[in-house]
Chain A
């Protein structure tokens, strides 16, 4: 009977109290899915018109991926130092790049010459994908990954680029991918948030643009990401007041239940009253379910070591990757983990010393991510879990001048890989020019990327719409082509 209880982040909306209203908002395309989900519930909810907008529902077409884990390399990792091998760049090392617009990056007055990657590259796996020495662990899994080398974005600045890759728009205030996905598919877990976000736990800050990166924009706020707080209680108000025992709180809820039911009987038409009664029962259970899901200490030592929980360099990220697996296992729809904090050098934003910066963040993430892929595969979850690796933009092939050279922002090219649910492993799509400056072949816009991710989840990006202020909005606005070559 999971549908009888309200979802963790789920609501009816008396402002739009009827199903008709909801369907009108959801638009013609999505209406069909919503209707299927709602009809399914109707049988269970004969006595009440309460509907649960986070009830799981099928997509537009069958798909393998049921859940997403987005490993977000915050700050913009350098494509030419990670996955996009550019031997030509080494040949022109130290030369100027003629015609280069010095405003391409952020620091117009610190533009240096072309700079080869300080890292060695090698081919790996059956697919022969090139991987930099930064990622010895992940290199073992390249045959699971589909690389898109030709991604590009609009903005050369963090927060607009973060908004762009999260929401499809470089301005603030639009729903992010995770929100659209939970809006489209609901969630399998009614005891946990549908969409969970984790960011840096080492006190290095929250991604630029803050919670707007996982905001629901104009979608109902139930679809926004729940960011686990790095310190204290991970979720607000999860812990009972200290002065109360479980029994005392239980007695409170029992009295509340009794009084509320009397009131609901006197107002039989108000479905929300019943929903609210049930929300207290769910909350009471949540107090146990959420801490359990987040408790990685329950995992066997072997698993903890696989992720690197015993490795001080990467233990923090390992914990988050392991939590991600536990959440996905329990039916959470969408998990996003940010590697790195806010300011330059505290994230992948290697303006100064690209070598040291990237080496450090690679050490924080390489083992945990490889372990996540292996663990998901072992448990048979990889087929149904889409894993995404990438940042908000790439970095320039020219150096940023300094004692130890860095690389500045580059909106024209970056690499993203996808693995798992519905992805054809070992594929390499698109290419940058020979020095890795701009995406040149089979260019993939952020909208294309979003269309592809939605497709892998069984959602048609042109039909996943929400009407707001008179317009049917889409994640992909009026753009987007699915990158079919990476589909299994």
Chain B
């Protein structure tokens, strides 16, 4: 029943805060106590002498010092007055009404200080008196300067003593072992020296079969083909191995294999994570950048610089832009509430900085977010100063032309290919068309055109818009309305009548890209609403152009029809007696429409007279036509889709051929050209070919940059805040001033860092160039972090080649990480990298050419007794392949690997592309990868664990894809029907394991395939032979020798 008592006790405070409309706070209208000043003075004295020390010593730690329990902060008077979750803590002038008094007096719960001795009675009395005197403060309990001291903290010189923070030592390989026959390059001198000191000898170099397999899987992640194995084994050249390494390093598959190592470190994924895990369909460009950069052997310092600030350093370089996907690859909450947006933003900045720290520098910078790093000399100050480099950086999408040069070349080639098509058209027009026109004119097909029984497009002599739109006649006979678009309008179109008889009128409402939604109307949705359509016949001279309707004769129009009618707005309404009702075409916008009306009586007396067409738009505001064409016909039966002829062309047609001017001839020919079926066919063929023209490869890519719109999801509030602040305890509610850009003090060897790295952005720049400064510091080998950067990456190379880094904790070079087993070798390798212009391929070759790398895996209990963990590398450790590479190897053996590089990935497990091209969706990681320890892509991962678990075995036994690969492999192995099993088994071993089976293996395998075949035959399976061999192939996939490369 503790509960109900407690409720009762706090009930008073609660009802005051929450439920009363009028909080009983001291009213401003109350008269000021005449003794106010005197009381304040006494109160202040009491506070300074007795109250402050008690509050500071006994209360502050939990209430505003290190933490703020129950949201109750006592650091200054306003906070004290506001109180915490239990309501206001003091009522100035009335200690008996003050919760603070009661909780320290233990007359109310919770009794304070919590779980500690009660305050001395004297102190409680002092507090009561002080409250009665108005509870004045002379200054807050925590001095501001003291509170912000950490934002200025300078690390002491001894902080730099940790080995990884020191400059590279100038080391030489131990000379004593230089002549030892095992030594192949300086690496081996370092290794052998240590081994000998420990009384150990390394293993000899492994045989060539093992070496080629090791190198293939190590550099390409694929098995060597049998003929490659045999060629290498048989190669008598002394540099056969070096040639092999050069060949592999030049392979495009190298980038695909090694990119995966870096993508683990970069926590790369293609979805946002959190609630909905929305896709980032344009994030794959970062993966492509890593592959391409590795294959191009982009110097590692540039590789790093571009990932931090490629958009600032090389804004015109696609790869540099794609590289910034590094910063964008972290998770991003997709449903951020207003109260949380700032906290999320700091989380996001932390992700960028923490990943940069782990990936580039092997330092756990994220640990300094809430307090100075507990183990490494990284003050919280440095954290926030580095964090500010990313202040305005957001995820954006940009258009990239991935291959402008390729497009230019492809276009030129296509143009050459297309030329004959155009030439055929031109030749036809030149040589054939005039003859064909003459023949057409002589034929009966032309009669209808002469007699006006097709649609004769009128040629206006005058165009008017009552509402002030600008109407213009176009070369194609259409009329376009521009400029003012009044709510309601009347267009009048005046023309001479040229037909002896007019039976019908056609109005075409024409689509036009310049109109809203492609027209034909000028309304916002592309619609129009024609309320009335009228025709008058004026006198022969067309006098009275001022347009008094009474002056002319109205022609009754009947039987309207249209190609399309909007529901409720049929074409019938253009000739009804309702001035408002209309014809419209919603939703068929962006298309041509036709309407036609008949004259109640054929106009047989109008020739030479003036026709005045009137289009009334009186139905819906702004629903005027944007483009239209009018035509008349003498035909008895109106055909909406019948062909047309412009009035002027008809006049030429009616002129005898020998009377026509050159211009007229050309005009007629051009009109006819559109109707000649043979020419149309030629043109069609050319147009079809033109559709195949190459297009520039414009793709959207997700990058990190500043000053472009951020990729937004359901965020409420800002994408970023203009400043990064020092946050006490990492809490956005406890800001301690703006954090200026800065870097790790322990990796800064200049007195004036602010002069060496930060730069002003160039005029007009949309980015702040703060990331450029960070990139410069990271790669600065003289005064910045360059030496550590080099150590960390050579260690990663070593780790993947030798199974374990010289520093085993590849992402942690701090004091809590593992110390290097061979510190001199690490420094020597780092210096070599810098000497080689930061190129990684020479470093691969250097490491792989060492006897250390090439030695066998042979185990020796005597050596193991001296160095059980093989830290000194007396043997090469046997290593299991990663999930991606196990799959790639099976896929390669299936013979069905699709080797296309780059581009969007897929989540389809049946994809035949290499595993690097699987989309990394955080909520839908590929089971085959996850089960083999692929990381979750949330934080930087420097070393994958290698687990052996039953689900892996289940996958190898039962997974449909594994089975598909086994079937594919079986199809490759199966030769002709009569081939003996021994050949098939032999071939399987050579493909999968790079060797021939030993006698016992051969015998067991043959017996197995034979038994399986009989069993499948007994079941009546049609493909029994293939099934039996597939079973054998699957066993090869499952073999330890297949997944453990020695």
Contact = CB atoms under 8 A, between A and B. Distances in A.
Contacts of B375: 470-471
Nearest to B1031: A252
B120 interface: no
A214 to B, nearest CB: 12
Nearest to B274: A159
B954 A238 contact: yes
Given A222-B947, A471-B816, A158 B275 contact: yes
B816 A467 contact: yes
A356 interface: no
B218 interface: no
A220 B952 CA distance: 15
B878 interface: yes
B950 A279 contact: yes
A241 B864 CA distance: 43
A21 to B, nearest CB: 8
Interface string B625-666: 000000000000000000000000000000000000000000
Contact of A209 (B274, B857, B1004, B1027): B274
A470 B364 contact: yes
Given A240-B957, A263-B1041, A8 B86 contact: no
Interface residues of A, number: 103
B339 interface: yes
Interface stretch (B5-13, B314-322, B580-588): B5-13
A55 to B, nearest CB: 14
Contact of B958 (A101, A238, A267): A238
Contacts of B1038: 256, 280
A433 B936 CA distance: 41
Contacts of A435: 14, 18-19
Nearest to A283: B953
B239 to A, nearest CB: 31
A23 B164 CA distance: 25
Interface in A405-430: 428, 430
A18 B869 CA distance: 7
Contact of B944 (A15, A268, A430): A15
Given A6-B948, A208-B275, A286-B950, A103 B3 contact: no
Given A269-B859, A270-B878, A11 B20 contact: no
Contacts of B6: 431, 440-442
B686 to A, nearest CB: 53
Nearest to A53: B947
B1040 A264 contact: yes
B804 interface: yes
Contact of A236 (B803, B927, B1008): B927
B945 A13 contact: yes
Interface stretch (A92-100, A115-123, A371-379): A92-100
Contact of A248 (B954, B1004, B1015): B1015
Interface string A234-270: 0111111101110111011101101110111001111
A260 B1040 contact: yes
A269 B860 CA distance: 9
Contact of A221 (B815, B868, B947, B1044): B947
Interface stretch (A34-42, A134-142, A149-157, A447-455): A149-157
A434 interface: yes
A237 B10 contact: no
Contacts of A263: 1039-1041
B938 A259 contact: no
B947 A12 contact: yes
Contacts of B1034: 252
A221 B948 CA distance: 11
A208 to B, nearest CB: 4
Contact of A283 (B109, B815, B957, B1046): B957
B1031 A210 contact: no
A218 B943 CA distance: 11
Nearest to A467: B816
Nearest to A162: B275
A260 B1042 CA distance: 10
Interface stretch (B330-338, B675-683, B775-783): B330-338
A429 B811 CA distance: 44
Contacts of A222: 947, 949
Given A15-B945, A240-B958, A469-B811, A6 B950 contact: yes
Contacts of B880: 14, 272
B224 to A, nearest CB: 19
Contact of A272 (B944, B948, B1004): B948
B139 interface: no
A259 B1004 contact: yes
A173 interface: yes
Contacts of A180: none
Interface in B10-41: 10-11, 14-15, 17-21, 23
Interface in B890-927: 922-923, 927
Residue of A235, A437, A471 with most chain B CB atoms under a 10 A cut-off:
A471
B933 A221 contact: yes
B18 A99 contact: yes
B474 interface: no
Interface in B354-374: 358, 364, 366-367, 374
Interface string B858-881: 010000100011000000011110
A97 B950 contact: no
Nearest to B1027: A243
A287 interface: yes
Contact of B274 (A172, A255, A443): A172
Contacts of A469: 358, 364, 366-367, 811-812, 939
A273 B1044 contact: yes
B544 interface: no
B1005 interface: yes
A259 B1035 contact: yes
Interface in A199-229: 206, 208-212, 215, 217-218, 220-222
A236 B949 contact: no
A109 B1041 CA distance: 64
A104 to B, nearest CB: 8
B376 A470 contact: yes
Residue of A8, A215, A256, A262 with most chain B CB atoms under a 10 A cut-off:
A256
A230 interface: no
Given A173-B936, A239-B958, A240-B957, A160 B14 contact: no
Nearest to B20: A98
Interface in B942-981: 943-960, 963
Contact of B946 (A6, A13, A240): A13
A15 B339 CA distance: 43
Contact of B1031 (A95, A248, A282, A471): A248
A61 interface: no
Given A255-B1004, A263-B1039, A276 B358 contact: no
5 contacts: A12-B947, A243-B1021, A280-B956, A433-B18, A440-B10
Given A237-B954, A283-B951, 5 more contacts: A7-B950, A210-B277, A237-B957, A260-B1039, A471-B816
Chain A to chain B: the 9 pairs with minimum beta-carbon distance, closest first? A11-B947, A173-B938, A269-B859, A283-B953, A470-B816, A210-B923, A441-B6, A237-B958, A208-B275
Interface of A: 6-18, 20-21, 92, 95, 97-99, 101, 103-104, 106, 108, 149, 155-160, 171-173, 206, 208-212, 215, 217-218, 220-222, 235-241, 243-245, 247-249, 251-253, 255-256, 258-260, 262-264, 267-270, 272-273, 275-277, 279-280, 282-284, 286-287, 428, 430-431, 433-435, 437-438, 440-443, 467, 469-471
Interface of B: 2-3, 6-7, 10-11, 14-15, 17-21, 23, 70, 85-86, 109-110, 273-277, 331, 333, 335-340, 347, 358, 364, 366-367, 374-376, 803-804, 808-809, 811-812, 814-817, 857, 859, 864, 868-869, 877-880, 922-923, 927, 930-931, 933, 936, 938-939, 943-960, 963, 1000-1001, 1004-1005, 1008, 1011-1012, 1015-1016, 1019, 1021, 1027, 1031-1032, 1034-1035, 1038-1041, 1044, 1046
